[in-house]
């Protein structure tokens, strides 16, 4: 999956902006950059997950709730696409 | 679950989940899940490889029982009870008839039931009033008035206990395999429980006549202490863990829904959920550790027959039955009214009713009464 809905990417960036507590400004972070290298923590992933779920009306299934899912904006967009229809 | 059987267990759980509410509502055996167990060859996997099975360990059986039990406790209990009967076959039997039954379990995925309690005795499986008769050389006959034969009409064979002969004391029991075709069932009462409504734990008078080589070798006292009772306790507890985890999943999903509405401001249920997860983790650790303890004992009669082993196997049953009810109630408090209602997707009605069986149907008090004198003799093995 490489074609992500622009809406998904925008919602993910907005969630990261609000709740990601990253140590670099979000516009400087590319879709494939390692978020954990940018200061993302497991505690912060929770709120980011909830915000994305709320914005996109999806629910990440249990098997996607791991570090890989939160590793990059692309990974989050893949997970969001995979989660469609699971709620 | 990540073991070598996880995909097959998940396939059965899928089927079990689909029919769980119908099984509960109609008080009928989970026949679809049983068919799926047969298709996935889950009924033969505790048979050792030298007899054609897969040699599943108790730890592996425990994980499967949890997975299936989380989807439908009735199906989980059938899996649990079947393997509590399948294990004694090769651990305590060697005669030709027993060996051919093991072969049927492997080749045809035979489902094994049991009739160990008896009307007039109470729930004590370690005493019988019915006795084996020997009508002609090589033949054995038994008539038993059994108050509970779970899924009796769905089973392919029923393991029945009785006194060794008409002169034997009530505790001198043997276990006879009654294969389909060798017995008749006369139903005397129908199971209508508050929970576990699909185990079809009906009452029957069993009349069986079969070959004498369908008797297991060891006295039932040994079979029970070394294999059948520990296996039943461990696998029931594994199913209960499944019930608790399915209730906890519902609680988690509720809190996540609430949290989504107010991201950054955790809802109060989040603290309760954290508390529930502690209890669930403790239960899981206790159940799995106890299963590993059974595996470590192997076939060592000195360990299996020890007081500390008996106490440990009773302990896992009692503690998990108690923990289960608390955990489901904790989950219900978190899920709230949607869990209390019986017509919502979030309803915990089935889980709560199934959970209540754990302390009642297999009485904690009976086990504690059995433990009481032993507790003067043995310390807890730490």
Q: Work out the minimum CA distance from A53 to partner chain B, whole angstroms.
A: 7
Measure Cα distances from B96 to B175, B212, B216 in Å.
15, 10, 10
pLDDT at position A76, please? 97
Average pLDDT over residues B288-305: 97
The rounded percent of chain B whose pLDDT value lies above 90 is 91
Q: Which CATH number fits domain B220-374: 1.20.140.10, 1.10.1740.10, 3.40.50.280, 1.20.1250.20?
A: 1.20.140.10
Domain with CATH 1.10.540.10 in chain B: 6-108
pLDDT at position B264, please? 87
- With 60 as the cut, is the pLDDT of residue B289 above it? yes
Containing H/E element for B204? strand B202-211
Nearest to A47 among B253, B261, B263 (CB): B263
The model's confidence at residue B371, banded by pLDDT at 50, 70 and 90, is: confident
CATH superfamily of B6-108: Acyl-CoA dehydrogenase/oxidase, N-terminal domain (1.10.540.10)
Q: What is the pLDDT of residues B238-285, one digit of tens each?
A: 999 999 999 999 999 999 999 999 998 989 999 999 999 999 999 999
- With 90 as the cut, is the pLDDT of residue B301 above it? yes
- Chain B residue with CA closest to A50: the answer is B260
State the angle between helix axes of B307-335 and B269-297 in degrees (0 to 180), rounded to the nearest 10: 160
B 216-245 residues with CB < 8 A to A: none
Nearest to B256 among A18, A19, A50 (CB): A50
pLDDT at position A86, please? 56
- With 70 as the cut, is the pLDDT of residue A85 above it? no
Q: Work out the minimum CA distance from A3 to partner chain B, whole angstroms.
A: 26
Q: Is B264 on the interface with A (CB under 8 A)?
A: yes
Q: What is the pLDDT of residues B333-359, one digit of tens each?
A: 999 999 999 999 999 999 999 999 998
Task: Please report residues of B whose CB lies closer than 8 A to that of A51.
Answer: 260, 263
pLDDT at position A3, please? 60
Q: Which range among B207-211, B277-281, B377-381 shows the weakest confidence by mean pLDDT?
A: B377-381
Report the CATH fold assignment for B112-214.
Answer: Butyryl-CoA Dehydrogenase, subunit A; domain 2 (2.40.110)
Measure Cα distances from B1 to A14, B63, B67, B239 in Å.
35, 7, 8, 14
User: Which tokens is A87 given?
Assistant: 């709620």
Question: What dotted CATH number matches A6-83?
Answer: 1.10.1200.10
Q: Is B263 on the interface with A (CB under 8 A)?
A: yes
Q: How many residues are there in chain A?
A: 87
Whole-number Å distance between alpha carbons of B76 and B12: 10
- Chain A residue with CA closest to B264: the answer is A47
ipTM over 0.85: no
The model's confidence at residue B174, banded by pLDDT at 50, 70 and 90, is: very high
Whole-number Å distance between alpha carbons of B267 and B260: 10
Whole-number Å distance between alpha carbons of B237 and B225: 17
Query: What distance lies between CA A81 and its chain's CA centroid?
Result: 11
Q: What is the pLDDT of residues B138-162, one digit of tens each?
A: 999 999 999 999 999 999 999 999 9
Pairing of strands B173-179, B139-149: unpaired
- Helices vs strands, H then E, count in chain B: 13, 6
- With 90 as the cut, is the pLDDT of residue B360 above it? no
- With 80 as the cut, is the pLDDT of residue B38 above it? yes
pTM over 0.80: yes
pLDDT at position A4, please? 74
Measure Cα distances from B15 to A45, B21, B74, B140, B253 in Å.
34, 12, 12, 39, 22
Long-range contacts of A78-85 (CB under 8 A, 24+ apart): A78/A1, A78/A4, A80/A4, A80/A8, A80/A11, A80/A12, A80/A52, A80/A56, A81/A1, A81/A4, A81/A5, A81/A8, A82/A1, A83/A58, A83/A59, A84/A58
- With 60 as the cut, is the pLDDT of residue B222 above it? yes
Containing H/E element for B244? helix B229-261
Q: What is the pLDDT of residues B48-61, one digit of tens each?
A: 999 999 999 999 99
User: Which tokens is B306 given?
Assistant: 């020890």
To the nearest 10°, the Cα dihedral for B10, B16, B20, B26? -170
Q: Is B260 on the interface with A (CB under 8 A)?
A: yes
- Chain A residue with CA closest to B249: the answer is A62
pLDDT at position A87, please? 45
Q: Which range among B87-91, B228-232, B260-264, B311-315 shows the weakest confidence by mean pLDDT?
A: B260-264
Chains A and B form CB pairs within 8 A to the count of 20
Query: Which residues contact residue B376 at a Cβ distance below 8 angstroms, ignoring those fewer than 6 apart?
Result: none
- With 80 as the cut, is the pLDDT of residue B317 above it? yes
Q: Is B274 on the interface with A (CB under 8 A)?
A: no
Q: Which residue has the higher pLDDT, A52 or B369?
A: A52
Pairing of strands B202-211, B139-149: antiparallel
Whole-number Å distance between alpha carbons of A20 and A15: 7
Inter-residue contact B256 to A59 (CB < 8 Å)? yes
CB atoms A53 and B264 under 8 Å = no
């Amino acid at each position: 999956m490489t074609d992500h809905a622009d809406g998904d990417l925008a919602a993910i960036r907005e969630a990261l902006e609000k709740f990601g507590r990253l140590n670099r400004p979000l516009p400087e972070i590319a879709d494939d950059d390692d978020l954990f290298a940018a200061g993302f923590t497991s505690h912060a992933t929770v709120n980011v997950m909830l915000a994305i779920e709320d914005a996109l009306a999806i629910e990440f299934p249990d098997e996607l709730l791991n570090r890989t899912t939160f590793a990059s904006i692309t990974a989050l967009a893949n997970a969001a696409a995979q989660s469609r229809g699971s709620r | 679950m990540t073991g070598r059987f996880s995909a097959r267990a998940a396939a059965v759980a899928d089927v079990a989940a689909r029919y769980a509410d119908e099984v509960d509502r109609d008080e009928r055996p989970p026949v679809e899940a049983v068919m799926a167990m047969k298709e996935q060859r889950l009924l033969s996997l505790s048979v050792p490889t030298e007899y054609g099975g897969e040699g599943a360990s108790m730890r592996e059986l425990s994980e499967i029982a949890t997975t299936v039990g989380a989807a439908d406790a009735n199906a989980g209990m059938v899996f649990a009870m079947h393997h509590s009967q399948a294990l004694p076959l090769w651990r305590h039997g060697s005669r030709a008839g027993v060996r051919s039954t093991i072969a049927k379990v492997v080749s045809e995925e035979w489902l094994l039931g049991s009739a160990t309690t008896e009307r007039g005795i109470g729930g004590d499986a370690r005493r019988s009033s019915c006795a084996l008769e020997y009508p002609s050389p090589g033949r054995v006959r038994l008539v038993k008035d059994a108050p509970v034969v779970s899924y009796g009409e769905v089973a392919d064979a029923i393991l029945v206990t009785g006194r060794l002969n008409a002169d034997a004391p009530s505790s001198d029991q043997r276990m006879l395999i009654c294969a389909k075709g060798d017995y008749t069932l006369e139903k005397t009462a129908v199971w209508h429980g508050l929970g576990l409504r699909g185990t079809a734990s009906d009452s029957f008078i069993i009349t069986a006549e079969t070959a004498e080589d369908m008797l297991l070798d060891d006295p039932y006292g040994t079979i029970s202490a070394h294999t059948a009772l520990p296996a039943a306790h461990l696998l029931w507890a594994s199913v209960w863990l499944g019930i608790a985890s399915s209730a906890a999943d519902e609680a988690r999903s509720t809190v996540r829904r609430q949290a989504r509405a107010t991201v950054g401001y955790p809802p109060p249920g989040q603290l309760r959920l954290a508390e529930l997860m502690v209890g669930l983790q403790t239960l899981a650790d206790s159940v799995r550790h106890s299963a590993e303890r059974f595996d470590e004992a192997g076939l060592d009669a000195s360990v299996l027959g020890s007081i500390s082993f008996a106490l440990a196997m009773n302990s896992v049953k009692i503690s998990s039955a108690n923990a289960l009810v608390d955990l489901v109630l904790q989950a219900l408090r978190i899920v709230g009214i949607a869990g209390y209602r019986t017509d919502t997707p979030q309803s915990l009605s089935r889980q709560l009713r199934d959970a209540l069986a754990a302390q009642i149907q297999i009485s904690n008090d009976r086990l504690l009464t059995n433990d009481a004198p032993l507790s003067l003799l043995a310390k807890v093995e730490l």
